[in-house]
């Protein structure tokens, strides 16, 4: 991903894009949840910057874009990367004889709603961003309204040759100019969604795939109607034709002759996405630690805690702590433990310390908080209960020094609204701030 930190870097918009009223609605309601309000502002701003014959003085620099949008370069390029990912912008580096290196932005037309929802990466991400209820409402809002009486009405429209006369030769074989016009326009067409996935679209033997699915009574035209979605799915998860067929047949019921792409996508996410998650966690757990690894020096209470977390299964340990606190174990808490143990495949003793840490900070174990602390531990090469307890102890010790040094210059932290969780009023970013970790780890191991 390309970024630039030079505010004097020249840039240029390579093509002219007109944002219609319908395009504005789609950009605001469908794309904005994905690219953010800044991404939307950047797209509209760049759409107004096209100059067909620019002179050297016509090139703008990034500093002018900063002033216009009132934000930093990092925020601008973070949003441009989102625009690139959803297919609205392409970024190029070019050379100018007088200005040197220049950034060239090529904009794509805002796709219509039908193409947006048929691009599963976009529609799936939108559903994840806005939630199922809001997503269903958007689908209803963008579903075309058609007069019901049209279904039974007779088509009495005139045909082309009923009205116009065209030379027979030209009707069969267009002139060279007509053919050239098609090539020129098609070469610069921006109407189709083009999502760069970070890798080449996988080459697919469609005939082989159709033959495989035909054995399960899925006709070739059904495969053809979902080619875009199938190609995206196979590329994203690196599936071969036989892999996709196996996945698709798991979603079929007796008598089905259609592919349920939504169900296939969910199945791929649940199975293949889960495999990626487990592989990532296992890879992190297997990484060797640096030479300055934590060397624990435990007191009696910490030794007892270590013995306790090593001798209990996670669910039993959860019940034990909740019973000690006078509370009860909720169904959601059981699901959190199940995920940590069976889906994330974390070691039991590390899960127990995680449970202890969370419940010393709050009254109910939540996946959100457990995820954030577990991410922090794995990023710091904390793989065992012994290391987790020692890490927390070291954090508490260093906290006193940080608190003293920052006391006189402490500033109020800004809320990251992008990751703000309205339901519980907490930041949902998995990367914990120092202040949040201070609050959590300061409560770790407190006396009951």
Look at residue 327 in the predicted model and tell me its pLDDT.
83
**Res. 390 pLDDT band, cuts 50 70 90:** confident
Residue that finishes a domain, picked among 259, 286, 313: 286
Least confident of 206-215, 339-348, 399-408: 399-408
Residues 304 and 426 in one domain: yes
Burial of 321 (0-12, 13-18, 19+ CB in 10 A): buried
Residue 251: how many CB atoms within 10 A of its CB? 17
φ/ψ of 260, rounded to 5, equals: -90, 90
User: Is pLDDT above 50 for 325?
Assistant: yes
Q: Is the dihedral of CA 439, 442, 444, 446 positive or negative?
A: negative
51 in a structural domain: yes
Is the domain of 343 the same as that of 435?
A: yes
Whether residue 428 is contained in a domain is answered as yes
pLDDT tens profile 203-212: 788 899 999 9
| Residue in this structure with the two tokens 């200005």, named with its chain if needed | 99
**Single pTM value for the model:** 0.48
| Spatial distance between the Cα atoms of 42 and 191, rounded to a whole number of angstroms | 19
In a domain, 28, yes or no: yes
Range of the domain at 229: 206-286
- Within a domain: 225: yes
Instruction: Please tell me what DSSP assigns to residue 97.
Output: T
Residues 20 and 45 in one domain: yes
Q: How far is CA 184 from CA 178, 179, 181, 187, 188, in A?
A: 10, 9, 5, 5, 7
* Same domain assignment for residues 281 and 312: no
Domain membership of residue 182 (yes or no) is no
Domain boundary residue, one of 88, 114, 140 = 114
Which of 114, 143, 172 terminates a domain? The answer is 114
The enclosing domain of 62 has a CATH number of 1.10.10
Number of folded domains that form the chain: 3
**Is 307 a domain residue?**
yes
385 shares a domain with 265: no
> In this structure, is residue 133 part of a structural domain?
no
Burial class (CB in 10 A: 0-12, 13-18, 19+), 307: exposed
Neighbours of 310 (CB within 10 A): 15
Is residue 276 domain-shared with residue 339, that is, in the same domain? no
């Amino acid at each position: 991903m390309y970024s630039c930190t030079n505010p004097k870097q020249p840039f240029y918009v390579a093509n002219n894009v007109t944002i219609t009223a319908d395009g504005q609605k789609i950009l605001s309601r469908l794309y904005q949840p994905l690219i953010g309000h800044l991404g939307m502002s950047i797209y509209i701003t760049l759409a107004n910057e096209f100059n067909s014959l620019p002179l050297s003085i016509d090139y703008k620099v990034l500093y002018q874009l900063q002033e216009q949008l009132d934000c930093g370069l990092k925020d601008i390029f973070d949003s441009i990367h989102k625009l690139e990912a959803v297919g609205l912008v392409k970024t190029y580096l070019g050379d100018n004889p007088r200005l040197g290196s220049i950034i060239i932005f090529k904009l794509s037309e805002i796709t219509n709603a039908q193409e947006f929802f048929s691009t599963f990466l976009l529609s799936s991400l939108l559903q994840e961003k806005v939630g199922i209820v809001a997503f269903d409402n958007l689908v209803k809002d963008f579903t075309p309204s058609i007069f019901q009486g049209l279904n039974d009405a007779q088509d009495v429209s005139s045909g082309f040759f009923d009205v116009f006369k065209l030379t027979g030769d030209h009707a069969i074989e267009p002139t060279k100019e007509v053919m050239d016009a098609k090539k020129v326009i098609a070469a610069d067409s921006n109407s189709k969604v083009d999502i760069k996935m970070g890798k080449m679209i996988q080459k697919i033997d469609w005939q082989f795939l159709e033959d495989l699915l035909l054995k399960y009574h899925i006709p070739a035209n059904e495969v053809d109607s979902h080619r875009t979605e199938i190609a995206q799915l196979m590329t994203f998860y690196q599936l071969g034709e036989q892999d996709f067929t196996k996945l698709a047949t798991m979603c079929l019921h007796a008598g089905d002759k259609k592919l349920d792409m939504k169900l296939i996508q969910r199945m791929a996410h649940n199975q293949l996405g889960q495999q990626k998650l487990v592989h990532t966690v296992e890879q992190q757990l297997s990484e060797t630690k640096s030479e300055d690894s934590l060397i624990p020096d435990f007191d009696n209470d910490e030794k007892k805690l270590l013995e306790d977390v090593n001798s209990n299964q996670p669910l039993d340990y959860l019940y034990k702590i909740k019973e000690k606190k006078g509370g009860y174990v909720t169904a959601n808490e059981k699901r959190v433990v199940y995920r940590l143990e069976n889906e994330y495949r974390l070691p039991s003793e590390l899960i127990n310390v995680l449970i202890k840490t969370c419940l010393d900070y709050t009254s109910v174990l939540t996946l959100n908080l457990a995820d954030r602390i577990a991410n922090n531990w794995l990023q710091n090469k904390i793989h065992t209960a012994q290391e987790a307890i020692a890490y927390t102890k070291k954090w508490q010790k260093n906290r006193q020094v940080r608190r003293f040094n920052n006391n006189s210059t402490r500033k109020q932290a800004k809320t990251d609204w992008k990751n703000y969780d309205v339901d519980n009023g907490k930041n949902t970013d998995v990367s914990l701030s120092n202040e949040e970790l201070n609050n959590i780890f300061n409560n770790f191991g407190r006396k009951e």
